[in-house]
Structure 1
Amino acid sequence: MSGPPSTEPSSPPPDASRLHAPLARVLRPLVRLMIRSGVTFPALVDLLRELYVNVAEYDFALPGKEQTDSRVSLLTGIHRKEVRRLRGAGAPVQTVPTSLSRTSRIIARWLAEPGYIDAAGHPLPLPRTAPEGQPSFDALVSAVTRDVRPRAVLDEWLDSKIVVLDDEERIVLTEAAFIPRGDDDRKLHYFSRNLHDHAEAAVSNILSPQPRFMERSVHYDRLSAPLARDLAARSRALAMEALQAANREAHAACQSDPGGSSRWNFGVYVYVEDGEAAPPPEPGHREVEP
């Protein structure tokens, strides 16, 4: 559930006809994922019907007035009988897998805590154990959770290639720490969270008189394939630097924060498209031979 509508002034939303082409472009990769994963069109229709009712019920409620089946039906175009059946079902709730939450917190601490990083902010190799007060993998895990033994975390991370052992048997954080595997729920969690937050920021910026969120990109077309790959590699390095710097500052600030119900997400993406093949036509567009 997205929560109550914002009380800030809003701009008139774009006309529905103007949204057709942008929505087709946004949805194309999602439709490709759904077809590859066996989500059929009727199944998607059922999901959209439920979401339409849920969003209309909660995000478009009028202050001080009870939301009615008739108004939800008017907003969504869904028959009142269907609205009555679906109302109150609640939006799909995505919980964070326990292993993901634990892993994220441990890695975040490793990348931010003084003593666990070098002068450039890179994670240091860690011995498994060390005298009290000195950095070690066991101390790192124990500072985050007492619910699981550090050895169990280490075994799990070695199996997942999140860490490796160097020649001195020290534990080294790898690139895989930032790339969840595709065969578990962790990758799907990041998929839904990051796309959701990016979409929320973009939609908010469209509906608000002034952009509320930072949402910018640098893009160049008509590039050679080698240059596109080089730019992708360089932008990945810059992105990791920015993410690690933001993590260090957030980790330090949290030490004195009293806590609350708010959350913050800072994300980046890099995309490279091979220009060899012509892009597919948008729905409703037909190429005509001369």
Structure 2
Amino acid sequence: MDHPRNNAPPSADRLHAPIARLLRPLVRLFIRSGMTFPGLVDLLRELYVNVAEYDFALPDKEQTDSRVSLLTGIHRKEVRRLRGAGAPISATPAAVSRASRIIARWLAAPEFTDSEGRPLALARAADQGCAEPSFEALVASVTRDVRPRAVLDEWLDRKLVEIDADGRIVLAESAFVPQGGSDQQLYYFGRNLHDHVAAAVANVLGEGPRFLERAVHYDGLSDGLAESLEKRSREIAVAALQEANREAHAACAQDPGGRHRWIMGVYIYRDEDASAEDAPQIEARGDKAS
């Protein structure tokens, strides 16, 4: 039986524990990257003012310094100084957008995949009058703003593709996992975590139908089993993402277009639980989906 949902947001004191857990890996990144606490405070202050100004504006009423100060707890002088900076910009870097669109098409379009949906090895360019799929045709089907040779050189340098013994271009596994610390990885780091957290926050606040946001997790595992489960879950996840990409790619061909966006994401994680040795094994183990 479905029970009515309480749409009142949780109190601030109830958020302390989950937010502390959520922020811990981020704080680890901040410290390792040299982002100091004062620097983070400055960023949060600007973000608090920006979110209050744009996300909490009242219909048909001008947002005031006093109201932003009331919502955020930031002094009006600081609010006045920080307001007017504009809404946060989340533009996709051109190279990232171009690469992701080309790879998505390579993984989804029937002319660039085999009978099992795997990306084909592509010739650099098709012979005149030949219908054979080529890397040149792939790039041209997505953008004509850059030469296919320039894309190939860039991708070879980034190890997104390889050249096989027959001189064909093969999509490398690294194309699915951007290099650590690269601009591409940092872009998706912000985008993917934003969307995951946005879905979870919408569920907590009860804003409309719940988004699917679940995880399967086991504790108290041996290192070997944890490694095996990670490997198998990668296979399952990649297959699911590729299938979703193929269906979305095909559906977009018939869609008139609009203002909406959709994302399906997957994450897999394992580590050593420092508290596992002290926990009773009967409680430490268990299959859960949350």
TM-score (norm 1): 0.89
Q: What residue identity is the alignment partner of 2:249?
A: H
Q: What residue identity is the alignment partner of 2:227?
A: R
Greater Cα offset, 65-74 or 263-272: 65-74
Secondary structure of the structure 2 residue equivalent to 1:111: helix
Report what 2:254 is aligned to.
Answer: 256
> 1:211, 1:230 → 2: CA distance?
35
- Quote how far apart the aligned CAs of 1:165 are: 1.1
> 2:275, 2:159 → 1: CA distance?
35
Q: Percent identity?
A: 67
Whether 2:144 is the aligned partner of 1:127: answer no
Whether contact under 8 Å (1:51, 1:91) holds in the other structure is: no
Whether 2:68 is the aligned partner of 1:72: answer yes
1:91-130 deviation line (CA, Å, top 9, x unaligned):
4313211111111111111001112111221111111122
Report what 2:217 is aligned to.
Answer: 219
1:218-237 pair list within 5 angstroms: 218-237=216-235
Q: Which has the higher contact order (CA 8 A, sep 6+)?
A: 1
Aligned length: 271
> 1:35, 1:156 → 2: CA distance?
32
Greater Cα offset, 173-182 or 202-211: 202-211
Provide structure 2 residue ranges, at least 5 long, that are not aligned to the other structure: 278-290
- Quote how far apart the aligned CAs of 1:55 are: 0.9
1:116-265 pair list within 5 angstroms: 116-131=112-127, 132-208=130-206, 211-265=209-263
Q: What residue identity is the alignment partner of 2:67?
A: R
1:234-256 deviation line (CA, Å, top 9, x unaligned):
11111100110011011111111
Summarize the Cα distance change of 1:209–1:48 in structure 2 as closer, same or farther, 3 Å threshold: closer
**Counterpart among 81, 86, 89 of residue 82 in structure 2:** 86
Q: What residue identity is the alignment partner of 1:252?
A: A
Greater Cα offset, 255-264 or 24-33: 255-264
Report what 2:109 is aligned to.
Answer: 113
Whether contact under 8 Å (2:219, 2:276) holds in the other structure is: no
Summarize the Cα distance change of 1:218–1:278 in structure 2 as closer, same or farther, 3 Å threshold: closer
Whether contact under 8 Å (1:127, 1:169) holds in the other structure is: yes
> 2:222, 2:53 → 1: CA distance?
49
- Quote how far apart the aligned CAs of 1:278 are: 7.5
- Quote how far apart the aligned CAs of 1:137 are: 0.8
1:162-205 deviation line (CA, Å, top 9, x unaligned):
11111111111111111112343111100000000001000000
Q: What residue identity is the alignment partner of 1:165?
A: I
- Quote how far apart the aligned CAs of 1:209 are: 6.5
Q: What residue identity is the alignment partner of 2:15?
A: L
> 1:160, 1:277 → 2: CA distance?
40
Report what 2:281 is aligned to.
Answer: none
Secondary structure of the structure 2 residue equivalent to 1:104: helix
> 2:240, 2:267 → 1: CA distance?
12
Secondary structure of the structure 1 residue equivalent to 2:110: coil
Secondary structure of the structure 2 residue equivalent to 1:164: strand
> 1:79, 1:209 → 2: CA distance?
30
Q: What residue identity is the alignment partner of 1:123?
A: P
Report what 1:16 is aligned to.
Answer: 12
1:118-176 deviation line (CA, Å, top 9, x unaligned):
12211111111224432111111111111111111111111111111111111111111
CA RMSD of aligned residues (A): 1.8
1:35-46 pair list within 5 angstroms: 35-46=31-42
Secondary structure of the structure 1 residue equivalent to 2:162: strand
Summarize the Cα distance change of 1:59–1:249 in structure 2 as closer, same or farther, 3 Å threshold: same
Whether 2:265 is the aligned partner of 1:267: answer yes
Runs of 4+ deviating beyond 4 Å: 276-279
